[in-house]
Structure 1
Amino acid sequence: MRIIRAVIIIISCFLSFLKVQSQNSTEVEPIVASRYLEDQFYAGLAYNVLLNKPEGVIQRNLSYGLQLGFIKDIPINTKRNFGFGLGVGYGTNSYYSNIIAEDLGSDINYRLPIAADSLNRTKFETHAVEFPFELRWRTSNATDYKFWRIYGGVKAAYLFSRKSKFISENKNSNISFQNNDISQWQYGLTLNFGYNTWNVHLYYSLNRLLENNATLNNEAIEIQPLRVGVIFYIL
């Protein structure tokens, strides 16, 4: 009898525990589901493609881009799988080519290399504060952390550092200067899509890399960057 009573007591306690858990689940789950957010921190790596290059301009080496930052997730529906994202971050980009930029004091001259230059590489280098805005759709819920996402939008960037660099073939000559011809404000269209950890990142610039007064062989340098890479989201 004592054993039976003990078993009954254990079963009763177990059933009481399950009932409490069930009640907690019905009380907590709606709260969790009504508040959960996704993809608020991001980091990405991209390759910069130079579009609209002037005749004779060749892209060289690995033109790369790095980005990281915070983006506020703002769901607008009950399922919280559709909404907006507004953020701030840091981005750095390097654009390697055979364009030589020369600081003449009051002006900057652009030309293509000649044999006497002994050219190794030249590049435009930028560091920026970025402001992404996204329209967000995903297949997530409050408990599923593996889901599809499609985030499209725009990104503006304020460049606080704009440099041109020239490195000779023997690397004895390394010229670097602040290049104010690089557009200080840059903006473009973005598209990020993928599943779980791996997501494709695309950025198409809507304005030129250089200001309108920058010319090569008396023609405007109308280069526009296109970035193709990967982006990772956490929390």
Structure 2
Amino acid sequence: MRFLLSCLFLVSFFNAFSQEEVKPEIKPVVKIDSLYREDQIYFTITYNLLVQGPPGLKQDKFSAGFSGGFLRDFPINKKRTFAIAPGLGVSYQNYYQNLTVSQSGDGSIIYGVNDYGEFVSNRFRQFSVDLPIEFRWRNSTFESTKFWRIYTGIKFSYVFAAKSVLKDGETTYKIKDNPDLNDFQYGAYISAGYNTWNIYAYYGLNPLYKSNVKTISGESVSMRTLNLGLIFYIL
């Protein structure tokens, strides 16, 4: 009888042991944010042109421009493919050209359009704080950060530092923060591309110099800027 009871006990023990269940590992559910924003840091590299300048205006060398900043994205449709994005940034623009800026003996500023053989070097550069406001289209989704885009908008700039340097072989003229410059500048721009790489174009809607500025030959200095290059967006 004892032997029988012992056998029943062992059978019950092994039966209970064999029925022990291994619980599957529960992984946390990662929720994808469908209310995403395309907030971005941007950088631009451009070739700077001067257009609508006085007769004889030419450029030489490579006039480069650099800018960077941050854009805040505000989607305006349910699919979040359209958005408005204001931002804040800084720019550096450099120009090599034959519009010379010098000073007379009484300190007044003189403008001229000279042949390149008449001076050694001539350079103008400016630094500005930028406020871009752009209208955006993209075919992005909340599952992918790589997409096609077309962004266009207006950029307002305040020039906080500017300098022109003219070397004519005898004298070097350095003019800082020229009062004839338009401190507030604005223009339209467009960028288009895929993922990080995008082409970029900016056209100044107001001239670099004020309307009363003229060369020594009486021509108005009403030139505008045209910047062509690349813009990079980083999420």
Same fold by TM-score, threshold 0.5 exceeded?
A: yes
Deviation of 1:4 after TM superposition, in Å, equals: 7.7
Question: Is 1:177 matched up with 2:175?
Answer: yes
Deviation of 1:78 after TM superposition, in Å, equals: 2.4
TM-score by length of 1: 0.84
CA distance in 2, matches of 1:226, 1:113: 22
Deviation of 1:173 after TM superposition, in Å, equals: 5.3
Could you list the per-position Cα deviations for residues 56-98 of structure 1 after superposition, in whole angstroms to 9, with x for gaps in the alignment?
2211111111100111111122222211010110001112111
CA distance in 2, matches of 1:5, 1:200: 66
Tell me the secondary structure at the aligned position of residue 222 of structure 1: coil
User: Structure 1 pair 103/146, CA: closer, same or farther in 2 (3 Å)?
Assistant: same
User: Structure 1 pair 142/166, CA: closer, same or farther in 2 (3 Å)?
Assistant: same
Tell me the secondary structure at the aligned position of residue 33 of structure 1: coil
Deviation of 1:167 after TM superposition, in Å, equals: 3.2
Instruction: Find the counterpart in structure 2 of residue 100 from structure 1.
Output: 100
Question: Is 1:202 matched up with 2:190?
Answer: no
Tell me the secondary structure at the aligned position of residue 120 of structure 2: strand
Question: Is 1:188 matched up with 2:199?
Answer: no
Could you list the per-position Cα deviations for residues 161-194 of structure 1 after superposition, in whole angstroms to 9, with x for gaps in the alignment?
122111356xx85432112212111100010111
Between Structure 1 and Structure 2, the one with more helix by share is 1
Which amino acid in the other structure matches residue 175 of structure 1? Y
User: Structure 1 pair 141/107, CA: closer, same or farther in 2 (3 Å)?
Assistant: same
CA distance in 2, matches of 1:43, 1:183: 24
Instruction: Find the counterpart in structure 2 of residue 134 from structure 1.
Output: 134
When the two chains are superposed, the root-mean-square deviation of aligned CA atoms in Å is 2.4
Unpaired stretches in structure 2, ≥5 consecutive residues? 1-13
Deviation of 1:215 after TM superposition, in Å, equals: 0.9
TM-score by length of 2: 0.84
CA distance in 2, matches of 1:162, 1:114: 24
Deviation of 1:103 after TM superposition, in Å, equals: 2.5
Instruction: Find the counterpart in structure 2 of residue 83 from structure 1.
Output: 83
Tell me the secondary structure at the aligned position of residue 57 of structure 1: coil
Say if 1:46 and 1:229, in contact at 8 Å, map to a contact too. Answer: yes
CA distance in 2, matches of 1:112, 1:77: 51
CA distance in 2, matches of 1:221, 1:72: 36
Question: Is 1:111 matched up with 2:101?
Answer: no
CA distance in 1, matches of 2:146, 2:95: 35
Which amino acid in the other structure matches residue 109 of structure 2? I
CA distance in 1, matches of 2:24, 2:156: 59
Instruction: Find the counterpart in structure 2 of residue 145 from structure 1.
Output: 145
Tell me the secondary structure at the aligned position of residue 72 of structure 2: strand
CA distance in 2, matches of 1:92, 1:126: 6
User: Structure 1 pair 120/114, CA: closer, same or farther in 2 (3 Å)?
Assistant: same
Instruction: Find the counterpart in structure 1 of residue 9 from structure 2.
Output: none
CA distance in 1, matches of 2:18, 2:230: 62
Which amino acid in the other structure matches residue 176 of structure 1? K
CA distance in 2, matches of 1:167, 1:81: 52
CA distance in 2, matches of 1:111, 1:45: 29
Tell me the secondary structure at the aligned position of residue 67 of structure 1: strand
Deviation of 1:107 after TM superposition, in Å, equals: 2.6
Which amino acid in the other structure matches residue 193 of structure 1? A
CA distance in 2, matches of 1:115, 1:82: 48
Which amino acid in the other structure matches residue 206 of structure 2? N
Say if 1:124 and 1:165, in contact at 8 Å, map to a contact too. Answer: yes
Instruction: Find the counterpart in structure 2 of residue 163 from structure 1.
Output: 163
Deviation of 1:147 after TM superposition, in Å, equals: 0.5
